[in-house]
Structure formats: structure tokens, C-alpha cells
Structure 1
Amino acid sequence: MSTFHGIVPPLVTPLLGRDQLDHEGLERLIEHVLEGGVHGLFILGSTGEAPSLSYRLRREVIAAVCRQTDNRVPVLVGVTDTAFVESIALAQYAADAGAAAVVLSTPYYFPAGQTELRTYVRNIVSELPLPLMLYNMPALTKVWFEIETLQKLTDLDGIVGLKDSSGDLDYFAKATRLKEQRPDWSILIGPEAMLPAAMRLGGDGGVNGGANILPRLFVECYDSIITQDEVKLAELHRRIVDFQRIYDVGKYASKYIKATKCCLSLLNICDDFMAEPFHSFHPPEREQLAQILQELDIPVVQG
């Protein structure tokens, strides 16, 4: 089994203000997902609003998560940045805090060509103090880690796998075939409803945002795939697909993170304050989500 596998929720970053971490909410969130049986934590990713957080706050998040997790599961830390040296500095901080690996997407704003990207990854791997998982997120970075590029990077021992959030299962299938060259690589899927299909293609698990809210559901789905319990899997996957209704609330691309944070707030786990330029859902959307959770037999604690 690959080093990183199973359900690794991309944690939201609970906030109380523009540059203020919701420490109590973060503690409750960590215990909530760990009690749900997750196999790791991924912090400072897209769901964690990392690009909108100050470097100071990112370090505060890393320190708080690693301290509380206390090696119960591996902690993976997103270090994607437009500045090479900032990615290295954050990776070093993560290593000192006790993280297990770092996660890096293609640098955003200036789109890199594939040759440039390969050189960039080779240069950064040589400086990193931790293993690296690549992160394919073309919808936000506008650049893919193309399969040929990944194949040419398989010689780097410092790379331990790929998180793919493209939603393209043909691409995912090709990525899993790279394990013929690197059997130690972990190939994880982002879009949560694709978890069973991705694992049938040879994937190792999922970095699924919904696991912030319903960690046990996703862990049981993963377990049923591993044990090949098709009857149980069908029911669990049906519930995951039904759960996707929460992402229909709202109208902007930020609705995915807003819905996740709002649900956590409705469950009294953490605050739903959003990093600017975004704002949390207004009362009508909040009520819609409360109704959906109730229809899914998820008890709403407040609001």
C-alpha cells in the first residue's frame, strides 16, 4: 500500500477575522475528522483558502495542526506559491513542525510551459526538506502537470505521488499507470463523487472536501472499495452523490468552500468566516444548507 492512501480531507482553515485563526474551531475540526477515521490531513490547499492567507497565518495553521495531530496521521502541507523561495521557506517550517510531506501545484498567475515546469520541479525538489506530492489543479492554476511531464519526473525520489483535481478520469487513469515506474507513488483523486471510479482505475484514495463534514461516510466508502463490498459501496456512494447538493447553493466558484464552511458552522464545529475577497453565505443560503443537511439526516446544531 502506498505511503499516503485512504481519505485525506483538505481541511478548511477556520477563521474569526481577516488574519485571525479560529483555534478552538480548528481543534474541534481536527478531532471531528480524526474520530471519523481519516488517514491523513491536507492543510493549506484550495479548500483551506491558502492563497488568501498571510504567510504568518499559514505558519500558525501548520504549527497548530501538527501540534494537535501529534503524529496520529500524516499531515501534508500545501506550499504552492508564486515565489520559489516562499515555497521553500514554508516547507522548511512544515518540516520543523513535524509534517510528513508537502504538496505543490503549478505556480499560478504566470503560466509555465511544460519544459519550464519540469525544471521548476527539479529545482524545488532539490531544496525541499520533505517528500513532495504534486497537485494537478488546472481549473485554478490554468496549467496541467501533463502526463509526459510527470513521466519525466519519475526519476526524482523526492516526489511521492500526485493529487489530481482535474476531474478528468482519462488523465487519472494515465497517471495511475506511472506506478509501473514508481510503485511507491500515491495517486489521489480530488472530486469526491469520483472516488470509487478513481480507485477502480488504480488510485489510492481521495482528498475529498466533503470529508471535512462527513469523514466517516467517506472512510466507510473507501473501506468498502478495499473490501470489495459492492452492496455497501453502492449505498455509500449514493449518499455521497446526494450530499453533492450542498455545492449547488450559491452562484460563484467560491460556493464550494462557502458551503463546506457553512455546513461546519451549522454543525457547531467551527466559524464560517471566509478569507477576503470572499464572504460567508447570507441567511437565505445558510437556511438552504440547513434544510439539505436535515434532509440528509445530518443533525444541525445551530442556525
Structure 2
Amino acid sequence: MTLRSPLTGVVPPVCTPLTPDNEVDVGSLVRLVDHLVAGGVDGLFVLGSSSEAAFLPDRHRKVVVDTVVGHVAGQLPVLAGAIDMATLRVLDHARTAAEAGADAIVATAPFYTRTHPAEITRHFRLLAQRCGLPVFAYDLPVSVHSKLGADLVLDLAAEGTLAGLKDSSGDEGAFREVVVGARSRADITGFSVLTGSELTVDSALAMGADGVVPGLGNVDPAGYARLYAYGRAGDRERARVEQERLCALFRMVRVGDPARMGGSSSALGAFKAALYLRGVIDCPLTADPQIPLSAEEIERVGKFLAAAGLL
């Protein structure tokens, strides 16, 4: 389908279900997509952080984008992560996404190398020139170790290089600067500003954000669809109540014992455990070398689901 401009609404970063032998579980992935569509989401983002893109070999990435684009069949826009260390590697992923029929790519700044803002700018310009799809910038400094400055993003938006921004920086002041700039600059049109924070969607929408890319949206897509609808309608009280319910549910990401696993293992394991307990996917396994949740930790995830009215 043609990507609407700007992209708005709830665009969850789709988890990647795996089989016990670490292959993509295509059947579970299709059920997850159906679960998200039934929940009222407005688009899908595959191969992002919550998709475990950093852990997946290229053949797994291809299976994911081929499966989701093929199954959605134009019902919703599909954004594909083309996340890798530098431009030529990102372009390889972008070609795979384009061949599958994805509607846009999502890319971070280059990483591993020590990158100057001029090189980040050049990176996004080359992607836009060569990949043949709209490009969304993914601001994720905790992982790529460079922050996408508001001026850099807005200037690239003005020249048509970027179609949007997914902001997972945690810097609310810089996020506001991009939102205000995108609305006030006459040379920027059709640019989408999306928050990646599950916990501050109500305030982001009040600022003027176009939408949200919530990892927790895998677990409760209908909740985020309601939150988005309340926020866009200006119903701040209902938005606040729904946001607080989702904040309580999000506490599941801390069920993992920090003495034996990292925060990513705990959070992604909790999302997958929740999908497993809800009957959406067959196996809650996360990709190696992440540490799996214990049976007791999975049981605790179930308690969060029950408290949120999801079991």
C-alpha cells in the first residue's frame, strides 16, 4: 500500500516468535499479526528492538518481513527495520524489505564506528537516495551511542530525506523540540513524529505527536488504540486513566532476576511470556544469548496480565 503521510496512530514493533530450536515460528507470527490487527493498530513495525532484530541472522529477518508483508496484504502499512552498523549494510536490509513489499524502512544512526553528525546526515541522505522507500529515523542513543539532534532531524525532514522519526531517546525536551519544529516550519510537510515510550503516550499526544510505537502494544494493542483515540480526541482524563493502567502492566518487564539476566532479557522475555500466556504464540523463547525467564517469572507475568484484565 502507499504510505500515508504523515503516518499516525499505533504502530507496534512486532515481536518475533521463535521455535524451541531458534527458528522463526511463522504460524505464531501470523497469529500475532492477526492479534494486532484485531486490536485496532494502524501499522506494523517489524525488525525493531522489540522484534529482537539485533539478535536475528539475515535469513530470519527475511522470513519475518516476507511473512508479515505477505500476510497483511496491504491492509496496514508495514515498516521494516533496516538496522545495522553502517550505510552499505543497511542498504542490503533495505533491498530485502523493498523486495518483500514493505512500505518504509526504519534506520538508526551508524554505530560501532565513531560517527560525526556530518556522517549521520550523509548516511540518511544515501539511504533515501538509494533504497527506494520512505526512511524513518530511529533515535536510540542507548544502543547506538549517538543522539539525533532536533536540528539534524528537522533539516533532513525539510529536504525530504526523512519521512518520520521514531524517538526512543527518553529525552522529552528534545522530542518536544522536534514536534514543535515539525508543526511550525513551513518547509516541513508530511513528516511523522512517533514516540517509542510506552509510558508517556498521553503527554506525547498532548504535545502534538502523531503516534506511538509501543513494545507493550504487542501484549495489549487494544489498550494503546484506546489511549491513542482518547489522546487525539483531547479527552485527557480518559487518556490518563488508560495510560496509568498500561504503566502498571508495563512493570512486567522487571520480572527477571537482575542477578542472572540483563534488562533486555527480562523485558523481551516478559512480552513473549505474556503473548504465550494469552495464547497468541506457541513458545516464549527469546533469541540467544538472552537468558530465558524461569517458570516462576512467567507466572508473575501472568499476574500482571490478570490485574490488567487480559487473562
TM-score tier by shorter-chain length is over 0.9
Equivalent residues of 2:110, 2:123 under 8 A apart: no
In the alignment, the residues of structure 2 paired with residue 289 and residue 176 of structure 1 have an alpha-carbon distance, to the nearest angstrom, of 35
Matched, 1:246 2:256: no
The CA distance in 2 between the partners of 1:55 and 1:156, in whole Å, is: 31
1:65 corresponds to: 68
1:83 Cα deviation from its structure 2 partner = 4.1
Q: Which amino acid aligns with 2:83?
A: T
Q: What letter corresponds to residue 16 of structure 1 in structure 2?
A: T
State the match for 1:272 in structure 2.
Answer: 284
Q: Distance in 1 between matches of 2:294 and 2:41?
A: 31
Give deviations 1:244-269, integer Å, cap 9, x for gaps: 22122112221221111111111121
Contact 1:246 1:289 in 2 (8 A): yes
Q: Compute the displacement of 1:17 (Å).
A: 4.3
Q: Is the 1:37–1:216 Cα contact (8 Å) retained in structure 2?
A: yes
Residue pair 1:188, 1:204 contacting (<8 A) in 2 also: yes
Hey, what's the Cα distance between the residues in 2 that align with 1:259 and 1:233? 24
Name the residue aligned to 2:55.
Answer: 52
Counterpart of 2:167 (choices 155, 164, 169) is 164
- 1:266 aligned partner, one-letter code: L
Distance 1:84 1:18 in 2: 32
Give identity over the alignment, percent: 30
Deviation at 1:85, TM superposition (A): 2.3
Q: What corresponds to 2:215 in structure 1?
A: 209
Match of 2:206 among 197, 200, 205: 200
- Tell whether the 8 Å contact from 1:10 to 1:212 is kept in structure 2 after alignment: yes
Q: Distance in 2 between matches of 1:236 and 1:96?
A: 39
- Output the CA distance in 2 between the equivalents of 1:122 and 1:297: 46
| Residue 11 of structure 1: how far off its partner (Å) | 0.5
Matched, 1:281 2:284: no
1:5 CA displacement: 0.9
- 2:79 corresponds in structure 1 to 76
- Alignment check: 8 A CA contact 1:19 1:54 kept: no
**How far apart are 1:80 and its partner, in Å?**
1.2
Give 2:157's aligned amino acid.
T
Query: Is the contact made by 1:105 and 1:136 (CA closer than 8 Å) also made in structure 2?
Result: yes
Let me know the Cα RMSD of the aligned residues: 1.5
Structure 1 counterpart SS, 2:285: coil
| 208, 213, 238: which one aligns with 1:232 | 238
Distance 1:265 1:74 in 2: 25
TM-score (norm 2): 0.92
Partners of 2:157 and 2:102 in 1: how far apart? 23
Q: 1:231 to 1:177 in 2, by over 3 A?
A: closer
Pairs aligned (count) = 299
* Matched residue SS, 2:51: coil
TM-score by length of 1: 0.94
Q: Which of 211, 222, 229 pairs up with 1:223?
A: 229
Asked if 2 retains the 8 angstrom alpha-carbon contact of 1:262 and 1:280, the reply is no
> For residues 172 and 70 of structure 1, do their structure 2 counterparts lie closer, same or farther at Cα, with a shift above 3 Å needed?
same
Partner in structure 1 of residue 180 of structure 2: 177
Contact 1:66/1:97 (8 A) holds in 2: yes
The one-letter code of the counterpart of 2:38 is E
Offset of 1:183 from its aligned partner? 2.8
Paired position in structure 1 for 2:302: 290
Q: Which amino acid aligns with 1:290?
A: G
Query: What code does the residue aligned with 1:7 have?
Result: V
Larger deviation: 284-293 or 201-210? 284-293
Consecutive unaligned residues of structure 2, counting only runs of 5 or more, are none
Amino acid at match of 2:227: C
Give the superposition deviation at 1:128.
1.2
